[in-house]
Structure 1
């Protein structure tokens, strides 16, 4: 007969209460069932655990078994609570990587709404460029990604979130800041363009021609916006990238070109089941974007 955890739980309850009746009430069992389980345990060990049938005094073996049983029962109960907590998404670890504009806007808003649901969940948020996010997902170093899909998207499950409109970013004192409608590419001729990795990805002949003449390039958003604020030139960025800065001194004017948009996808590795907490977080991100789009 194998030694079962319920045998140890039954014995510990009797040893702690000093009688069968109280132990039976604690465990929700009948005294006869408790007595039978004790006999099975003693038979398995080959020695009595109590000095008398009254169960009020332990033998030397009983003292030793109680010490071991209490330790193992605590470990077992802690493990069960951890497993159940993970399954119910009250415990766990969620790793999110998002492009900076999304990390600083959508993800923070999702956290603000739902963070209390994850009070015991270890959440890690990293902001990085789209290619790095896709690489981290493929290597299982990230659970959820929010990025632009490139050509290297094999092995990823993707769900379209939104299209982020590109626009001209200029100083609030720049003449373009006073334009009332979308800006045509022709209006950017003669402007000093500060190129960046996002603007270079716009699939339009006019954009490529404009970037071919650009002598300034900045990859870091802080450096890029500092140059624009100083009046050194203009740049082209998705609208969310500027919104995430929560900074004044800029003007955003959308481009008239309808294809000048950056598609953002919700990503995870294909064929991998997310943890319950990660599944809930993924759903919150998607639902927040859908709700926000309906309101706009």
Structure 2
């Protein structure tokens, strides 16, 4: 017969209470059930654990078993709590990488609404471009990605999170700042374009022609916004990228081209299960975006 943790727990209760009745009440068992557990334990050990039937005095073996049993029960209970906490998403480690626009707009809302749920969870949030996010996912260095995936979705589970429209960003002194209608490609023909990594992804013929003639390019938002603010030229960015940059002194005018959008997906590796904490964060992100749409 193998020793069971409940046998040790029953023995400790009797040893500490000094009688079967109080121990049985503490354990939520009948005195006869507790007495049977003790008999099985003593039968297995081949020696008595108590000096008398009154169970108020331990033998030398009983004293040793009590010391060892209490250590084992404490370790067992700690292990069970750790397992249950991890399974319940109360503890863990989640690594997430997002495009900067989502990191600066959606993620703060996610955490402000749910931060108390993650008191025991270590969350590592990084912002990077979509290509880097997909690479980090493929290498298993992040759990969740929020990115534009394009055709690079092999081996990934993806879910469309949101669609972000492109628009023209200009300084308040630029002539387009007072433009109240949607901006057409034709209206940008004579504007000095500061192209960037995001705008280069717009695949329309008009966009490609406009970018082909651009003489300025920048790939850091700080640099892009600085040049636009100085009225050197205009740039084309997704609306959320402008919102995340907090550029209240710049003007955003949506493009008339309805195809000029980017699709941002919630992605993870198809062959890897998320931890409970990561699944909770994934659900919170989806719920927050859904409520933002509403």
The whole-number CA distance in structure 2 between the counterparts of 1:20 and 1:223 is 78
Once the 2 structures are TM-superposed, how far is the Cα of residue 62 of structure 1 from its aligned partner? 2.0
In structure 1, the residue matched to 2:111 is 111
Q: Give the gaps of 5 or more residues in structure 2.
A: none
The whole-number CA distance in structure 1 between the counterparts of 2:266 and 2:8 is 48
The whole-number CA distance in structure 2 between the counterparts of 1:275 and 1:239 is 33
In structure 1, the residue matched to 2:190 is 190
Preserved contact between residue 131 and residue 150 of structure 1 (Cα < 8 Å): no
In structure 2, the residue matched to 1:20 is 20
Q: Structure 1 stretch 240-249 or stretch 49-58: which is displaced more?
A: 49-58
Give yes or no for the alignment of 1:174 onto 2:144: no
In structure 2, the residue matched to 1:164 is 164
In structure 2, the residue matched to 1:44 is 44
In structure 2, the residue matched to 1:140 is 140
| TM-score of the pair, normalised by structure 1 | 0.94
Give yes or no for the alignment of 1:266 onto 2:269: no
The whole-number CA distance in structure 2 between the counterparts of 1:275 and 1:25 is 39
Give yes or no for the alignment of 1:31 onto 2:20: no
Q: Give the gaps of 5 or more residues in structure 1.
A: none
Give yes or no for the alignment of 1:153 onto 2:157: no
The whole-number CA distance in structure 2 between the counterparts of 1:72 and 1:222 is 58
Taking the TM superposition and a 5 Å limit, the aligned residue runs for 1:220-231 are 220-231=220-231
The Cα offsets for residues 41-99 of structure 1, whole Å up to 9 and x where unpaired, read as: 12222222222222222222222222221121111111111222222222222222111
The whole-number CA distance in structure 2 between the counterparts of 1:106 and 1:136 is 21
Taking the TM superposition and a 5 Å limit, the aligned residue runs for 1:23-102 are 23-102=23-102
In structure 2, the residue matched to 1:10 is 10
The whole-number CA distance in structure 2 between the counterparts of 1:179 and 1:111 is 37
Once the 2 structures are TM-superposed, how far is the Cα of residue 167 of structure 1 from its aligned partner? 0.7
Q: Structure 1 stretch 112-121 or stretch 239-248: which is displaced more?
A: 112-121
Q: Structure 1 stretch 23-32 or stretch 271-280: which is displaced more?
A: 271-280
Tell me the SS of whatever aligns to 1:244.
helix
Once the 2 structures are TM-superposed, how far is the Cα of residue 261 of structure 1 from its aligned partner? 0.2
| TM-score of the pair, normalised by structure 2 | 0.94
In structure 2, the residue matched to 1:256 is 256
The whole-number CA distance in structure 1 between the counterparts of 2:226 and 2:73 is 61
Preserved contact between residue 168 and residue 253 of structure 1 (Cα < 8 Å): yes
Tell me the SS of whatever aligns to 2:146.
strand
The Cα offsets for residues 135-174 of structure 1, whole Å up to 9 and x where unpaired, read as: 2222222222111112221111111121100111111221
The whole-number CA distance in structure 2 between the counterparts of 1:35 and 1:78 is 27
Tell me the SS of whatever aligns to 1:287.
helix
> How many aligned positions are there?
294
The Cα offsets for residues 202-249 of structure 1, whole Å up to 9 and x where unpaired, read as: 101221122222232221212221222222222111000011122321
